[in-house]
Amino acid sequence: MTLNLHDYLLSLKNKNSQDPNIAEYKETIRKKLYPYRARQPITPLISHNKNTAKNVVFYSFMEAPNKPKIGEHEYKRLKLSWSSLRKHNTDIEIRFCYSERINLFRDPESELGKNRDDKLYDKWASLCDDYGVEMYPFHESFIGNEPNAWCIHRWYNLALWENEDLNILYLDADTYINGDVGLLFDIYSRDPIYGREELGFRHDPNLGVSGEDPRFYLDLVDASIMAQGGVSEVQKYCLGVILLNRSTHRLFTPEILSYYTDLLKRIHTFKVFYSIPNYRIMDEFAFWVLLSRWGLRTSLFGDQDVSQTFLEKKHENHFNPIVLHYTTKDEEKFADWGIEFFCLSRSGEEREESELAAGGIYNVMPLMREELAMSMW
């Protein structure tokens, strides 16, 4: 191969399965992936004894500017998640990072800080008090104009606890706790990180991978990670439920996240080969790149313990996961499941507004969807 891997991948854009050289492309990429897939992952050097680290459940939320309904809905989600968690575990520490608008309540003497909406902040602080949740401001390294800022703040905020030995279970707000989350720390203790795989990937029991050649589609995803410096194969996590064991959170330094943000910028401007026809999970792809560059051993939660989407087949008759990540996509189905969940139901207009914000509080080019879809076959 005369081109490096990334240039080679870029040269394949807009080709299709009828290309006369398709067999050659597949063979070339698969050969390139041999050492990547054969390499043994590692346990990070920062590892501490899991039994001596404190178990913490972590949430993070940033208000969407000028979109108060999104914050109101997130409040309902978190109230449900926290109340269900506390029903099964009253002792575990819960930490919540919140920003009304970036940097507002970190420095109350600043001009922005003086304009803080105390009523809004107090509403969240009161909810935290109700469920024994400790509230934190965002870490100073997070500015708020990063690509996908609406969701990546969670990783920046891990730096708040860079000097603590922790096992951290990160949960999105769209979660319902159906058992003692402490069991997840007990059962999943061997490896540095656990999660559920994103829908549509190799180990996802819900959708799997479709298309004429799903194996090659997955080869392209691995090759695109390798092209960004990845050194070993990693699980393709959905980031709604992630367990970081033995102080793995310390790897997410501001310097590392600066690279992470730069990678997202390059994806947004089409300078990175991105083979996934779903622009909303760019941040997940960049996260997978980080894990692979570190060479971390990544493992999966059993789908019996952490359920993703509502409802997975196995839970139609016996609903017994510890955590249900019902996902925004299936939230309306979850809202109709029981009277205590009706509060999550939204109008079509409200869901559309939320979708726009989740696509990035910042503008996404109109060609984004088409461009990304064309980058794979």
Domains, in order of start, for the chain: 50-374 (3.90.550.10)
Amino acid 369: pLDDT: 38
Percent of the chain with pLDDT over 70: 83
Better-scored residue on pLDDT, 264 or 364: 264
pLDDT higher than 90, residue 284: yes
Beta-bridge partners for 170: 58, 242
Q: Where is average pLDDT lowest: 16-25, 42-51, 103-112, 142-151?
A: 103-112
Amino acid 47: pLDDT: 57
Amino acid 300: pLDDT: 97
pLDDT grade, residue 13 (50/70/90)? confident
Percent of the chain with pLDDT over 90: 60
Alpha helices in the chain (DSSP H): 5-11, 22-38, 68-88, 111-114, 118-130, 149-157, 182-187, 214-226, 254-268, 282-294, 331-335, 348-358, 368-374
pLDDT grade, residue 318 (50/70/90)? confident
DSSP 8-state code for residue 328: G
Output the pTM of the full model.
Answer: 0.89
For 302-311, what is the mean pLDDT?
90
Say how far apart CA 36 and CA 38 lie, in whole Å: 6
Beta-bridge partners for 88: none
Q: Which structure tokens are listed for 210?
A: 């479709």
Q: Which of 200, 220, 225 is nearest to 298 (CA)?
A: 225
Amino acid 353: pLDDT: 61
What is the residue-averaged pLDDT of the chain? 86
Say how far apart CA 327 and CA 346 lie, in whole Å: 14
Complete edge-to-edge strand list for the sheet that includes strand 306-308: 175-177, 323-325, 306-308
